């Protein structure tokens, strides 16, 4: 790994690293915030998954998370949202290809060669982080929009691995909405049956761990009715008896203004679980 950015922030350091990913067969970047506590003790890790069109930069420059990570002594890791490079397949649309990995393992060409984001987030990246940085081994996960889908889905598919999970305006039912139809159809093929293992609402019914889902959703979100549909998540959780704290936030849209407004709540939620 090579460090390419290192900037002081709230007593700690905001860094960006690059490395060659075995899972994705390309060079990747990820951001790491090291709180001041990391200089003297092991710290738990909170993973952030960003949404469509983002890189590792959107979160670290817009979310305002560093001050809360410093307060609670958490390392925050924010990877890119897809594989990158000239050899990586792409699409003209913003919602497929680079910037739109959807945190799944692609099985279809031309995507399968590089788009193995699930393996990267779940296995490869944590191994790198725990090897390079002084961590306790405890981890949690959260994200926004496509990244909210990724965070909820990954936590549900990996019981016992994450201490807590939360999301801002997540895509909760990709099997049922246009963003999901396009991405899952391309990455996984035309059979909706193969999509279900990547769909939060489908996974809830058989979840073996009852980890509470904290979800914030703005009621002025431009994608609320067509793409996000949090009522589907609420119905799935009620049917399965799965704990959900869904907070509809009046007046907020899909932007990082919304994310920054409630970032302190989310980091505190994860810190309480990670520091137990």
Q: Which amino acids are annotated catalytic?
A: 145, 221, 254
Phi, psi dihedrals of residue 78, rounded to the nearest 5° = -125, 100
How is residue 125 written in tokens? 């990246």
Please say whether the beta carbons of 59 and 91 come within 8 A.
no
Calpha distance 131→125 (Å, rounded):
10
3-state secondary structure of 140: strand
Q: Is 169 left (phi over 0), alpha (psi -120 to 50) or beta?
A: left
- Residue owning tokens 């059979």: 191
Taken in order 14, 15, 16, 22, is the CA torsion positive or negative? Answer: negative
- 18: Cβ–Cβ under 8 A, 6 or more apart, which residues? 1, 2, 4, 27, 28, 29
- How far from 189 is each of 46, 93, 107, 180, 181, CA to CA, in Å? 32, 18, 8, 12, 10
- In angstroms, the CA 256 to CA 242 distance is 28
3-state DSSP assignment of residue 223: coil
The answer to whether 12 and 36 have CB atoms below 8 angstroms apart is yes
């Amino acid at each position: 790994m090579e460090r390419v950015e290192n900037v002081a922030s709230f007593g700690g350091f905001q860094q960006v690293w690059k490395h060659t990913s075995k899972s994705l067969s390309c060079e990747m970047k990820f951001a790491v915030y090291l709180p001041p506590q990391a200089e003297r003790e092991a710290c738990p890790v909170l993973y952030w998954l960003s949404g469509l069109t983002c890189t590792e930069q959107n979160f670290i420059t817009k979310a305002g998370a560093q001050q809360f990570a410093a307060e609670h002594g958490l390392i925050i890791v924010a990877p890119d949202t897809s594989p990158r490079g000239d050899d990586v397949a792409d699409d003209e649309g913003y919602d497929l290809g680079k910037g739109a990995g959807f945190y799944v393992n692609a099985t279809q060409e031309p995507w399968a060669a590089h788009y193995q984001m699930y393996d990267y987030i779940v296995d490869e990246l944590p191994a790198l982080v725990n090897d390079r940085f002084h961590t306790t081994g405890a981890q949690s996960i959260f994200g926004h929009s496509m990244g909210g889908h990724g965070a909820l889905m990954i936590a549900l598919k990996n019981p016992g691995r994450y201490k807590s999970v939360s999301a801002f305006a997540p895509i909760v039912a990709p099997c049922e909405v246009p963003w999901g139809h396009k991405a899952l159809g391309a990455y996984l093929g035309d059979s909706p049956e193969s999509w279900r293992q990547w769909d939060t609402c489908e996974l809830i019914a058989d979840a073996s761990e009852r980890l509470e889902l904290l979800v914030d959703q703005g009621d002025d979100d431009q994608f609320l009715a067509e793409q996000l549909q949090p009522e589907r998540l609420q119905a799935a959780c009620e049917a399965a008896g799965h704990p959900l704290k869904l907070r509809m936030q009046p007046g907020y849209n899909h932007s990082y203004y919304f994310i920054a407004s409630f970032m302190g709540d989310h980091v505190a939620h994860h810190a309480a679980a990670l520091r137990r």
